[in-house]
Amino acid sequence: MDESSTNQAPAAIVEVVEVVEAAEKPPFVEDGRADVVLDFVIDALAAMGMDCTVDLLEPDEEDPPEEIRLEIEGRDAGWVIGKKGQTLSALQFVANRVINRPTKTRRHVIIDAEGYRARREDALASMARRLGKQAVDEGKIITFEPMSPQDRRIVHLALAKFAGVVTKSDGEGEQRRVQIIPVRR
């Protein structure tokens, strides 16, 4: 009986699959970029004339080890947050660009100020659930105002297991928004 008449993969393919499955991600080794981004954010805030302190947070157990978390506190933290977190997001974007180069493994920088991100996430998730209930009750599609990718993700996750609705992002670029669509039963 030849190989083509059986439902088994050729031995060479099986060996390759086993080698790929056996390959593990190398253990994370601190590379000093956390200190580099901390210094960058401190210098950027000082150049902006902001009266703030910046702390490098220890990663939580559920956080990936390559993630870098910074917390900004102080009198001018509200200015650093900006309208709907835009200034904070811009600072985070630039900080990520500073430490991530094509030749290096990607590290993700998350910058928060006075717990703003957690409060924003809770408020968006709560609003999403309230509007999800409204969409089900009225049987109408509800469309949010344009949102950042992070905010859209929060809404999608908040309604992922919400009975009676599905969510969809619609639009392009800065005008992308989330729709809550009631599901017919």
The domain tally of the chain equals 2
With CA atoms as reference, report the closest residue to 179 among 131, 147, 150, 142. 142
Please indicate, yes or no, if residue 150 is contained in any of the structural domains: yes
Do 67 and 105 form a contact (C-beta atoms < 8 A)? no
One digit per residue, the tens of pLDDT, for the chain of length 185 reads 554 445 555 555 545 545 544 456 667 678 899 999 999 999 999 999 999 999 999 988 887 888 999 999 999 999 999 998 999 999 999 999 999 988 888 999 999 999 999 999 999 999 999 999 999 999 999 999 999 888 999 999 999 999 999 999 999 998 999 999 999 76
86 in a structural domain: yes
Domain check: are 38 and 90 in the same one? Answer: yes
Residue 149 within a domain: yes
Domain holding 161, by residue range, is 119-182
Is the same domain home to 40 and 106?
Answer: yes
